[in-house]
């Protein structure tokens, strides 16, 4: 039987390397998945350009961060990016509204089939991806400034007297707080405000919404407003945590879509739950458990191998496999959404 | 000239003509019924009046031509529609469904809400429940209530008794008469032609997108040709 200290150490180790990062990553995915869900249930197409829109929002935030830093406008301890998020959101809103005006509106007015609009969104995805690479270049960029940690692993160890430390990164705390705030506001907006109810009504039964005098243009406008806000916040938080590179963002499309489908397409709550299912699966399956079991098992049973189920380079495969399992076994997802 | 008039309406689904110059009309405080065989264009007339189906011809409301207006503008002028199917917002609560009905209103709609609850007490009881979980008859009541929330002058009802039990049918017809007594113009499409014509002030028999017979409900019911061709005896 392992000592109490060892159990505690094992738990802290897992929290530091799996649980806290998964919570952070899940929160970032949740915001992106919520944006996909809003577009799907109100504008009625699966938006493949979501991940690249996140890259665009982040690119804007990076450029603005550079400008703010050069002007000396920073907040002590926290990343400058937080200061520029509102401005980056405004630019992303304009960008998405223009995309709608120039591209999606045509298909909406002509009552195009959903699959047609999906193909169109793939086109938008490539253009948006190209645009971002043109502006930012293909290399990885780190734009997080300010203090890196709220407290470090070492500080935690001194404080607790344990041999394992649980560090809290600034980006992790920012992500969790900001994601909670954003999701809370979106849900409040949808449940309690008149425009939010009109959006839900439009999503539920478009014809009846029109018959109740709801203006479809206003619903579409408000949807892009919310989507651009969520998209930018999701992108910036992911970038602060893991750095920015156009390709890495492009690849986010898979876990974001997996989250939406696992949760149930069209269900906002499902998108959030799905995001955490994906993030925790990815982290739990790619972590090397050797040290964790050294704490828990007697010395005689000490593992020789790394005890890693899947290499981290296969983390995107995790989303893919979960996606396929869900589509085979329960295509409506956890919260009984629609079937693609 | 009636309060709501559709004159010489033409419409088509693609290349297939569905309305071929038919005319309907209803006054306030009046109940008019459109009957006819399947595919006669009964529901399409309503869609044309509402601007949901692109059509040629005149649509007049209180003497004003509204045929160039969008559905939303026509609704704001006092038209309300209760569709046959998909007539509620299934994932929203009963009270939210009713609130959506009052979407265009800027005054206090609590009085209208109370009126709806008085007319349909079951809706007050189930106001927190999702509309999608209600029975067919109760959903129909939600749909009626939602339409009443707009404080319309004209109500267009598309087969309000389709798929509900006979007891509920009597109840629905009673509600429709109550709406008529409240000085609304009520125009409805009805499968249940015999019963509908017996309470209607006016009836329009449509065949293949054209008016075949027009008259008071009683006159149509006693017309041998109408009885033989459309009412099954």
Q: What is the CATH number of the domain that holds A115?
A: 1.10.3470
| Number of domains chain A contains | 1
- On whether residue A232 sits in a domain, the answer given is yes
Predicted-complex ipTM score = 0.83
**At A71, is the pLDDT very low, low, confident or very high (cuts 50, 70, 90)?**
very high
**At A251, is the pLDDT very low, low, confident or very high (cuts 50, 70, 90)?**
very high
- Residue B232: the pLDDT is 62
- Residue A298: the pLDDT is 85
Burial call B60-74: b when 16+ CB within 10 Å, e when fewer: bbbeeebbebebbeb
Gap between the Cα atoms of A55 and A239, Å rounded: 9
Rounded to 5 degrees, φ, ψ at B137 are -65, -40
Domain that holds residue A195: 4-329
Q: Are B183 and B150 in contact (CB under 8 A)?
A: no
Per-residue pLDDT of A258-286, as tens digits, reads 999 999 998 999 999 999 999 999 999 99
Average pLDDT over residues A87-101: 98
**At B196, is the pLDDT very low, low, confident or very high (cuts 50, 70, 90)?**
confident
More confident residue, A119 or B16: A119
Per-residue pLDDT of B23-65, as tens digits, reads 999 999 999 999 888 888 888 999 999 998 888 999 999 989 9
- On whether residue A321 sits in a domain, the answer given is yes
Average pLDDT over residues B115-128: 90
- On whether residue A217 sits in a domain, the answer given is yes
Prediction pTM value: 0.88
pLDDT over threshold 70, residue B83:
yes
**Measured between beta carbons, which residues in chain B are less than 8 angstroms from residue A204?**
89-92
CB contact under 8 A, A212 and B92: no
- Burial label for B130, CB within 10 Å (0-12, 13-18, 19+), is middle
Would you kindly state where each structural domain of chain B is located, as residue ranges? 1-78+154-160+190-233
- On whether residue A149 sits in a domain, the answer given is yes
What CATH architecture does domain B1-78+154-160+190-233 belong to? Answer: 3-Layer(aba) Sandwich (3.40)
The highest-confidence range among A98-102, A143-147, A152-156, by mean pLDDT, is A98-102
3-state percent breakdown (helix, strand, coil) of chain A, nearest 5: 75, 5, 20
- Residue B231: the pLDDT is 66
Gap between the Cα atoms of A257 and A134, Å rounded: 25
Kindly state the helix (H) or strand (E) to which residue B40 belongs, with its residue range: none
Which chain A residue lies closest to B155 (C-alpha atoms)? A211
Nearest to A215 among B50, B72, B146 (CB): B72
- On whether residue A339 sits in a domain, the answer given is no
- Region of poorest pLDDT, from B50-59, B122-131, B219-228: B219-228
Q: Are A315 and A270 in contact (CB under 8 A)?
A: no
**At B229, is the pLDDT very low, low, confident or very high (cuts 50, 70, 90)?**
confident
Average pLDDT over residues A42-69: 96
**Measured between beta carbons, which residues in chain A are less than 8 angstroms from residue B109?**
none
Please, which residues bridge with residue B58 across strands? B7
pLDDT over threshold 60, residue B233:
no
More confident residue, B192 or A250: A250
The highest-confidence range among A183-197, A321-335, B58-72, B147-161, by mean pLDDT, is A183-197
Nearest to A204 among B52, B91, B104 (CB): B91
Dihedral of CA A189/A228/A318/A173: which sign? negative
Question: A residues 190-249 near B, CB within 8 Å?
Answer: 194, 197-198, 200-201, 204-205, 207-215
Average pLDDT over residues A109-132: 95
Nearest to B217 by CA among B206, B231, B204: B204
**At B85, is the pLDDT very low, low, confident or very high (cuts 50, 70, 90)?**
confident
Does B75 reach chain A within 8 Å, measured CB to CB? Answer: yes
Average pLDDT over residues A127-143: 94
């Amino acid at each position: 039987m392992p000592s109490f200290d060892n159990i505690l150490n094992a738990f802290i180790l897992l929290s530091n390397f799996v649980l806290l990062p998964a919570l952070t990553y899940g929160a970032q995915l949740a915001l992106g998945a919520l944006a996909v869900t809003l577009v799907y249930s109100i504008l009625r197409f699966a938006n493949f350009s979501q991940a690249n829109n996140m890259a665009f929002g982040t690119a804007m935030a990076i450029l603005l961060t550079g400008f703010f830093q050069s002007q000396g406008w920073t907040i002590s301890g926290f990343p400058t990016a937080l200061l520029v998020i509102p401005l980056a959101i405004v630019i992303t809103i304009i960008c998405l509204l223009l995309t709608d005006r120039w591209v999606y509106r045509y298909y909406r007015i002509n009552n195009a089939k959903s699959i047609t609009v999906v193909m169109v969104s793939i086109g938008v995805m490539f253009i948006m991806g190209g645009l971002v690479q043109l502006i930012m270049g293909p290399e990885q960029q780190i734009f997080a400034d300010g203090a890196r940690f709220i407290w470090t692993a070492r500080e935690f160890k001194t404080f607790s007297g344990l041999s394992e430390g649980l560090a809290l990164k600034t980006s992790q705390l920012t992500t969790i707080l900001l994601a909670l705030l954003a999701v809370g506001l979106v849900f409040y907006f949808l449940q309690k405000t008149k425009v939010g109810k009109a959006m839900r009504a439009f999503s539920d039964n478009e014809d009846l919404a029109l018959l109740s005098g709801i203006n479809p243009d206003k619903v579409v406008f408000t949807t892009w407003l919310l989507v651009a806000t969520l998209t930018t916040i999701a992108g910036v938080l992911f970038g602060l945590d893991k750095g920015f590179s156009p390709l890495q963002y492009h690849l986010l499309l898979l876990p974001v879509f997996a989250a939406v489908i696992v949760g149930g397409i069209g269900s906002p709550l499902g998108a959030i739950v799905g995001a955490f299912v994906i993030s925790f699966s990815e982290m739990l399956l790619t972590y090397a458990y050797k040290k964790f079991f050294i704490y828990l098992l007697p010395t005689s049973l000490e593992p020789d191998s790394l005890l890693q189920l899947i290499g981290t380079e296969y983390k995107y495969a995790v989303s893919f496999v979960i996606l396929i399992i869900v589509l085979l076994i329960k295509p409506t997802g956890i919260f009984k959404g629609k079937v693609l | 000239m009636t309060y709501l008039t559709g004159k010489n309406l033409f419409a088509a689904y693609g290349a297939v003509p569905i309305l071929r110059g038919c005319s309907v009309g209803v006054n306030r405080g009046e109940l008019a019924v459109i009957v006819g065989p399947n595919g006669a264009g009964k529901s399409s007339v309503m869609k044309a009046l509402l601007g949901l189906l692109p059509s040629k011809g005149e649509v007049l409301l209180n003497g004003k031509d509204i045929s160039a207006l969008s559905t939303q503008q026509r609704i704001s002028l006092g038209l309300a529609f209760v569709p046959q199917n998909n007539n509620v917002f299934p994932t929203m609560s009963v009270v939210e469904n009713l609130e959506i009905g009052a979407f265009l209103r800027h005054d206090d709609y609590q009085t209208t809400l109370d009126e709806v609850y008085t007319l349909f007490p079951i809706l007050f009881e189930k106001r927190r429940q999702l509309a999608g979980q209600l029975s067919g008859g109760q959903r129909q009541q939600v749909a009626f209530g939602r339409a009443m929330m707009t404080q319309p002058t004209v109500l267009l009802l598309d087969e309000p008794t389709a798929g509900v039990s006979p007891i509920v049918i009597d109840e629905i017809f009673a509600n429709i008469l109550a709406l008529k007594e409240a000085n609304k113009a009520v125009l409805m499409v009805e499968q249940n032609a015999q019963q509908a014509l017996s309470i209607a002030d006016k009836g329009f028999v449509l065949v293949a997108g054209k008016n075949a017979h027009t008259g008071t409900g009683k006159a149509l019911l006693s017309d041998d040709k109408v009885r033989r061709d459309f009412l099954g005896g």
